[in-house]
Chain A
Amino acid sequence: MAETRALPRAWNARLWLSGGWLLLILLAAVFAPLVSPQDPLAQDLLYERLPPFWMQGAEPGFWLGTDSLGRDLFSRIIYGGRIAFSVAFAAATAACLVGSALGLIAGYYRGWADRIVSRIVDIWMAFPPVLFAILLVAVLGTGLTSVIVAIAVIDWTRFCRVVRAEAMSQSRMDYVENARIAGFGRFDIMLREVLPNVLPSIVALLSLEMGIAVIVEAILSFVNLSISTDDPTWGGIIAEGRLSIHQAWWVLVFPLVTLFLTVLSFSQFGEGLKARFDPVLR
């Protein structure tokens, strides 16, 4: 049975690779002022549209080239990571807390609480999410907080649906009945017995949601609705790269590759964690 033993090892490699990439980007973002070779905002028209280091015409110190205003692409991507990761952690955590709490209550208590929560989820699911996000940011005004609030307001349903379904199936298990016979209150049972068993799904979803938050932030800054236009964001750099794609492809390619790997890593990291926690798969 070589196949069954090879499988967990493949999962581990997935966990390490994705976790490693995320850690690398996170560290670069945290220590951006130390790591980035240039000021991400400094414009220099003499250095406009420099190609990356291996091409002719590259300048030392501008490893990934520059954009149409002569700003260093590498430094801008590193600083963009700060915003991407702030949004990822804050928005995903907020969505997770709200969605999981409502899902847990709806799935465990059922009854009218479930009916109300499910109806709200139905309404939320009838909105095109990207349009909803753009609308919310336009209403709240651009800025980091607005972006985080908008993503949390839209994506709590993702947690709510999964946690509700899991809490419902866990509530039918014998151990819940045993706890009730042992004299525990319903609220205690929900927190002490049901929640820990739903947690692996929540953790996997949290990682996935961070990737989604990074994408939504990129989309918002792509349509110029994220934070102020001065601060470099991945979506903002991509929007500029989309415009100058025929003159300077690198302005689109490098932030796109970074975004691609980050989103892929978040989802693979979540899947890997889930596989590791899941007693059946383990």
Chain B
Amino acid sequence: MPQLGPNKMILQCLLIRLFTMAVTLFGVAVVVFVVIRIAPGDPIAMMLPPGASDADIARLRALYGLDKSLIEQFFIWLAGVLRGDFGMSISLRQDVLGLVMNRLPATLELSIMALLLALAIGLPLAIIGARERGTAVEAGIDVANGAALSIPDFLWGLVLILIFGVLMPVFEISGRVSPQLELPFVTQFYLIESILRLRFDLTKDLIGHMFMPALALALPLAAIIAQLLKQSLKELLSLDYVVLARVKGFSETQVILREALKNAALPTLTLVGVQFTFLIGGTVIVERLFSYEGLGNMAIDAVINRDLPLIQGIVLVFALIFVLINLAVDMTYALLNPRLRHG
């Protein structure tokens, strides 16, 4: 067997990952399709006013392709999806892909804001905890981590609503932007566009709305980052090269930042990637809680309205995002890990 160079190995790894990704997505498509078709209750009957004739119902069923066999329906739908045609939403009477693309930026902005918050909270806690290892400070960080980990985003959201919405009303607890504001935006990436257009008044309003839901999503992830990174830092701090740096006269904080952090980051990165998908999954209920107009909030409405095409589209988009994040994490790991990089 010929020896593969490191680049070829990464390429081979990438191809295998792309293949499993496709299998996973196909599996998701099958599961969603099957689950939805088990549903009792006819979505077509719900669309029409009572007293609609059987001919009307039949015509509408044919329009949405519901008169064909299940397997036919699946492949018609799948072929459409591959062409970018996700069908029409039954409750909103619009193109599913358009609806999803319209809401996706709001959810992405929220998720990335939450990820940044989680890093902003988790990183300093890990560094402080590693520096103050064995003291009451570390014990305090551990207790806070334990609590933040056991409480899910839904409950944090409610707690934040109580504290910062009612007791000290400093943040908005409902919506994405104040309704009275005139929005000059052409894309749905409001936050990014407001910064690019230098409309910082709008940026401030958007962040004021986004901060609470983002923090609710961020807290469990921040705890995981703090816990895992602190653990790896503590292990590294007893190694020879770190001891050497200390002997050279670097302070403990300098040692952590210059020497240990770089090497501790890799295992943390892998976990953060997986946890980031959980965070995005959490947007579904957190958006609902804060009436934030994102994809998750629309998904719940779609389920309540039995809007099958819309549900299928949203679930597939979520699944696509999840597998892409996992792929990105695997690839980054392969590129950064010196053991893999040098074959």
Residues of A within 8 A of B (CB): 119-120, 122-123, 125-132, 134-136, 138-139, 141, 211-212, 215, 218-219, 222-225, 238, 242, 245-246, 249, 252-253, 256, 259-260, 263-264, 267-268
Q: Is the Cβ of B154 less than 8 Å from the Cβ of A125?
A: no
Which residues from 290 to 306 on chain B have a C-beta closer than 8 Å to any C-beta of chain A?
Answer: 296, 299-300, 303-304, 306
Is B311 an interface residue when CB atoms closer than 8 A count as contact?
Answer: yes
The 5 closest A-B pairs by CB, nearest first: A123-B27, A128-B281, A267-B150, A126-B319, A139-B39
Q: A119-B27, A223-B288, A259-B155 are in contact. Are A131 and B318 (CB under 8 A)?
A: yes
Q: Is the Cβ of B303 less than 8 Å from the Cβ of A134?
A: yes
Which residues from 252 to 288 on chain B have a C-beta closer than 8 Å to any C-beta of chain A?
Answer: 277, 280-282, 284-285, 288
Which residues from 21 to 56 on chain B have a C-beta closer than 8 Å to any C-beta of chain A?
Answer: 23-25, 27-28, 31-32, 35-36, 38-40
Q: Which chain A residue shows the least CB distance to B316?
A: A126
Is B225 an interface residue when CB atoms closer than 8 A count as contact?
Answer: no
- Of the candidates A134, A215, A219, A245, the one whose C-beta lies within 8 Å of that of B165 is A245
- With the chains together, A47 CA to B179 CA distance in Å? 36
Which residues from 107 to 152 on chain B have a C-beta closer than 8 Å to any C-beta of chain A?
Answer: 146-147, 149-152
Is B20 an interface residue when CB atoms closer than 8 A count as contact?
Answer: yes
Residues of B within 8 A of A (CB): 20, 23-25, 27-28, 31-32, 35-36, 38-40, 146-147, 149-152, 154-155, 158-159, 161-162, 165-166, 277, 280-282, 284-285, 288-289, 296, 299-300, 303-304, 306, 311, 314-315, 318-319, 322-323
Q: Is the Cβ of A135 less than 8 Å from the Cβ of B151?
A: no
Q: Which chain A residue shows the least CB distance to B154?
A: A219
Residues of B within 8 A of A127 (CB): 28, 31, 281, 315, 318-319
Q: Is the Cβ of B315 less than 8 Å from the Cβ of A123?
A: no
The SS class assigned to the B binding surface is: helix
Residues of A within 8 A of B318 (CB): 126-128, 131
- With the chains together, A238 CA to B159 CA distance in Å? 11
Q: A130-B285, A249-B162, A263-B155 are in contact. Are A123 and B24 (CB under 8 A)?
A: yes
Q: Is the Cβ of B28 less than 8 Å from the Cβ of A126?
A: yes
Q: Is the Cβ of B322 less than 8 Å from the Cβ of A242?
A: no
- With the chains together, A138 CA to B158 CA distance in Å? 24
Greatest chain A CB density within 10 A among B20, B35, B165, B323 is at B35
Residues of A within 8 A of B284 (CB): 128, 130-131, 134
- Of the candidates A126, A138, A260, the one whose C-beta lies within 8 Å of that of B303 is A138
- With the chains together, A68 CA to B289 CA distance in Å? 20
Q: Which chain B residue shows the least CB distance to A267?
A: B150
Q: How close is A79's CB to chain B, nearest CB, in angstroms?
A: 20
